[in-house]
Structure 1
Amino acid sequence: MVPTRRGVVNASLFSVALTIPGWPDVVGRMERVRQETAPRIGTPDVDMVIAMTEQLSELDDRFGGRHARPMAAAFLVNTVVPFLRAQAPDAVRKAMMSAASDLCYLTGYMAVDEGLEGLGQRYYLKALELAGASEDHLTYCTTLRGMSVQAVELGHSATSLRLADAAASASPQAGPRMRAFLAGQQAHAAAQSGDVSKAMTHLREAERAMDKAESREKAFGSYDPAALHYHISHVRHELGDLPGAISAMEESDRLTYTVYRRSRVKERATLGEFQMQHGHLEAACVTWNKVLDELPLVQSGRVDRRVTRMFGMIKPHLGNRYARALYERARTETPAALHA
């Protein structure tokens, strides 16, 4: 299902030149949707949307965006949009817009995971609009950060850094875990942009914030030490430190919760690339075989791109028995489109 046809995602397409609306420009200014003959909603309806979003997020973590995104889009179109049109007290309407914003962000994230970059960007912009209307700073900053992640993966370094900085500046009262969440992405974007000093400053900030967050509470399902080591790995890789990048990604893999299958598979594929770039062919083959072990359970365009890259990296080394065995296994167990 493509919700754009029903008017859910009607913002303009994100591009490297996109002007992101600042928090003061969006807060409270979304035009109220026309109230139609719809039932009156209350707090239980908001709670249901939040609970469904959490369930969809768990499905995404386990199985990837290609499985979960169509369900999220259908739920958004068929249930949440009518809720936004329903009669409600102001506090409930505001809470529903906040819940819808979070769902739009998640749906955009899953679209990006599928490889539907433009659709994901439109969802992100709708999430920003709804977050501003509901004065939801958390989702507003999270969405800007998500846009930065997308930009850095597409190689738009300057745009990624601008978005990461905007996310951080829009959340001046962030707690330590949120601060680490934002600073880690700033570090990655700055490193890809070639700003070594800024990258290391933000990385140290993320590490300090994570230390504070971990000393206060253990938060399952949010930015955690595994995610921090993921960012450390990418910063090290961007700065040319392959041994440091490999070590940090191995630590991230060790710390990742088992429920985050899609992330684990994607990041193991990345670790294999780093090992290969460092000349560790057999270690890379071991890592990539672990990717293949779980690949049938994950439907993700980002993972597919990593697997295609794997084929390209091992083809020159088919004289090695480990590379040859991996290559033959992968050809048998993956779609032909990934190794054509």
Structure 2
Amino acid sequence: MNISPKEPNSILRHLIGESGWTLEEFARAVNALGRGQGIPLRYDRTSVAHWLTGSRPRPPVPDVVAQVLSRRLGRLIRAQDTDLLSVVVDPTDATPLTQASLIEDPVLRLLALCRLELAPSGCAVIAAHAFRLQEAAVPPPREGAPSGGSRVSSQPSARPAGGNVLPMVGRARVAHAALLERMLSSYADLDEEFGGGRARTSLATCLADVAVPLLASTAPPALHDRIRSLSAQLALVLASMHADSRAEGAAQIYQNAALHLSAHSADPATPALALQAMSSQASRLGHDWYALGLAARAVGATDEYAASAVRGLAFQRRAVAHALVGQYDAASEDISSAREILRQDPYSAHPLIPASAAAFHESAARVHEVAGDTRRAVKAWLASIDHRAQPLQRSGVLAHASLAGLMIRTGHVQAAYPHVRAFAARHHDFESARVHEARVRLVEQLRPFRSHAAARFMLQHLEPAEMFGGNGTSAPTTAASNAVGG
């Protein structure tokens, strides 16, 4: 249902005119971006014409439109800049997920998000939420807290005005923090090992039933600070699971929840990790300048108290973001900084960064690839794969897919075979939209070469029934085997 004001939308008309698109092209771009974020949209030129005459679509469509225009015009355009939002805000226009994300208290916000996630209609609500271009700022430290690594955490306000909202467990103990640490390690491993769709509901349950009660408990400042940081990092894992399922709007909301929850702790790592995740997401969605701004904030959020793995990753993320906007000298400087951090502390680790060296080489590969240096990109991708203790977890499988895609695009189809084979060996094991999309890309890249035996053999690994008909399980011919190295 649309809300129809009286005035035509001259602002949107101007923006579409500036884009150079026809109304039909604009509608197709909106539909495509929505599909990429798990939001099925089916607009056409008539729909856009209705918007121009004054009708306003329900959320999340205005946010999708803003993203499309931002990518096309190369500057930040928010939903309110399109004049597609109602002048008088109707509370029914805000989705339950949006309403939960607007709760000011970070602990109450996290509880509301998790409860929504676990509700019977939670999946549909979450899938309908769009990513939003917005200002992402670290909230100011609480009143009276010193800046820097010497911040001291305050006790939580467990009972806000209006009654007993949060569950209480009494006094938190060191063992409770150890429990959160084990949960963080376990769920981060599950996300990597099986994809974001496998344990998302389980993690939301643990956050609601374990982390939130501990956040509402009394504890010595240092212990409460630790619980706050660990809870925020668990929220980041849940955000990663949503992003891996292409629920980008939900991922963004959990990233913001983690950022706000960790802003009052003494740990400099968690805000930096949240900003890095936000920047990576923005890059994936094609918002390159927006991603660079977030990456710069991630670097600024780290200090000498942050683990080397976190500091190094911040510089790596900014390097990739610099490369994506064509600032190759700045990207090279950031890669050099990250390399020096890794050299000084090669064994630094973090539950959310299990392989620091592999992450560094992957970032270097992306920078070289964007810069057009294929030889160095291939070398860096190989180093990234070699530095992974478990190369067939999701990040390793995706690294194989990225390297194979690079080789195929540059005409080295036969050289891509071992990496396609490594990817094909595990891609069915993941409940992951990113892994599925990587398979689709590889198939699309290989199809123009299907006259080559090596390409046919790789396609048989990736799509046996589709490519060859029947069960597609016949053994490859000797010629095909020889073409790909046996």
TM-score normalised per structure 1: 0.87
Q: Are 2:398 and 1:282 aligned?
A: no
Which amino acid is 2:136 matched to?
I
Cα drift, residue 260 of structure 1: 6.1
Deviations along 1:78-116, one digit per CA (max 9) or x if unpaired, are 322233334545554433222211111111112112221
1:229 pairs with one of 338, 361, 368: 361
Alpha-carbon distance change, 40 to 25 in structure 1, aligned in 2, over 3 angstroms:
closer
In structure 2, the residue matched to 1:211 is 343
Matches within 5 A, 1:254-333: 254-258=386-390, 261-332=393-464
Which amino acid is 2:180 matched to?
V
CA distance, structure 1, for counterparts of residue 251 and residue 316 of structure 2: 22
Q: Equivalent residue of 1:308, what SS?
A: helix
| Worse overlay, 172-181 or 313-322 | 172-181
Alpha-carbon distance change, 80 to 219 in structure 1, aligned in 2, over 3 angstroms:
closer
In structure 2, the residue matched to 1:181 is 313
Q: Are 2:156 and 1:39 aligned?
A: no
Matches within 5 A, 1:95-110: 95-110=226-241
CA distance, structure 2, for counterparts of residue 15 and residue 166 of structure 1: 18
In structure 2, the residue matched to 1:119 is 250
Cα drift, residue 283 of structure 1: 1.7
Deviations along 1:230-263, one digit per CA (max 9) or x if unpaired, are 0110000010111211111011111111176111
Alpha-carbon distance change, 22 to 83 in structure 1, aligned in 2, over 3 angstroms:
closer
Which amino acid is 1:101 matched to?
A
Matches within 5 A, 1:52-67: 52-67=183-198
Which amino acid is 2:157 matched to?
R
CA distance, structure 1, for counterparts of residue 376 and residue 273 of structure 2: 28
CA distance, structure 2, for counterparts of residue 172 and residue 38 of structure 1: 34
Contact map agreement 2:391 2:397 (CA 8 A) in 1: no
Cα drift, residue 178 of structure 1: 3.0
In structure 1, the residue matched to 2:291 is 160
In structure 1, the residue matched to 2:86 is none
Which amino acid is 1:299 matched to?
E
Which amino acid is 1:133 matched to?
H
Which amino acid is 1:301 matched to?
A
Alpha-carbon distance change, 107 to 333 in structure 1, aligned in 2, over 3 angstroms:
farther
Alpha-carbon distance change, 13 to 85 in structure 1, aligned in 2, over 3 angstroms:
farther
Deviations along 1:279-307, one digit per CA (max 9) or x if unpaired, are 11112233112101111222221111111
- Report which of the two has the higher share of helix: 1
Contact map agreement 1:8 1:81 (CA 8 A) in 2: no
CA distance, structure 2, for counterparts of residue 30 and residue 315 of structure 1: 60
CA distance, structure 2, for counterparts of residue 126 and residue 13 of structure 1: 16
Which amino acid is 1:21 matched to?
A
| Worse overlay, 105-114 or 265-274 | 105-114
Which amino acid is 1:20 matched to?
A
Deviations along 1:133-178, one digit per CA (max 9) or x if unpaired, are 3333211111101111111122211111111110111213245433
Alpha-carbon distance change, 218 to 170 in structure 1, aligned in 2, over 3 angstroms:
closer
CA distance, structure 1, for counterparts of residue 257 and residue 180 of structure 2: 17
In structure 1, the residue matched to 2:132 is 15
Which one scores higher on RCO, CA 8 angstroms, separation ≥ 6? 1
CA distance, structure 2, for counterparts of residue 14 and residue 203 of structure 1: 29
Cα drift, residue 324 of structure 1: 1.4
Deviations along 1:53-100, one digit per CA (max 9) or x if unpaired, are 111111122212111322211211232223333454555443322221
For these two proteins, the number of residue pairs brought into alignment is 328
CA distance, structure 2, for counterparts of residue 259 and residue 317 of structure 1: 27
In structure 1, the residue matched to 2:38 is none
Q: Equivalent residue of 1:66, what SS?
A: coil
Which amino acid is 2:409 matched to?
Q
CA distance, structure 2, for counterparts of residue 131 and residue 13 of structure 1: 24
Which amino acid is 2:135 matched to?
T
Which amino acid is 2:113 matched to?
V
In structure 2, the residue matched to 1:139 is 270
Alpha-carbon distance change, 51 to 240 in structure 1, aligned in 2, over 3 angstroms:
same
CA distance, structure 2, for counterparts of residue 168 and residue 218 of structure 1: 17
Following TM superposition, where does structure 1 have runs of at least 4 consecutive aligned residues deviating by more than 6 angstroms? 26-31
Contact map agreement 2:232 2:270 (CA 8 A) in 1: yes
Alpha-carbon distance change, 317 to 288 in structure 1, aligned in 2, over 3 angstroms:
same
CA distance, structure 1, for counterparts of residue 460 and residue 391 of structure 2: 29
CA distance, structure 1, for counterparts of residue 307 and residue 264 of structure 2: 23
Contact map agreement 1:30 1:130 (CA 8 A) in 2: no
Alpha-carbon distance change, 82 to 230 in structure 1, aligned in 2, over 3 angstroms:
same
Cα drift, residue 22 of structure 1: 2.7
In structure 1, the residue matched to 2:42 is none
Structure number, greater radius of gyration: 2
Q: Equivalent residue of 2:263, what SS?
A: helix
Contact map agreement 1:40 1:86 (CA 8 A) in 2: yes
Equivalent pairs: percent with the same residue? Answer: 25
In structure 1, the residue matched to 2:281 is 150
Contact map agreement 2:316 2:334 (CA 8 A) in 1: yes
Q: Which runs of 5+ in 1 are unaligned?
A: 335-340
1:246 pairs with one of 368, 378, 395: 378
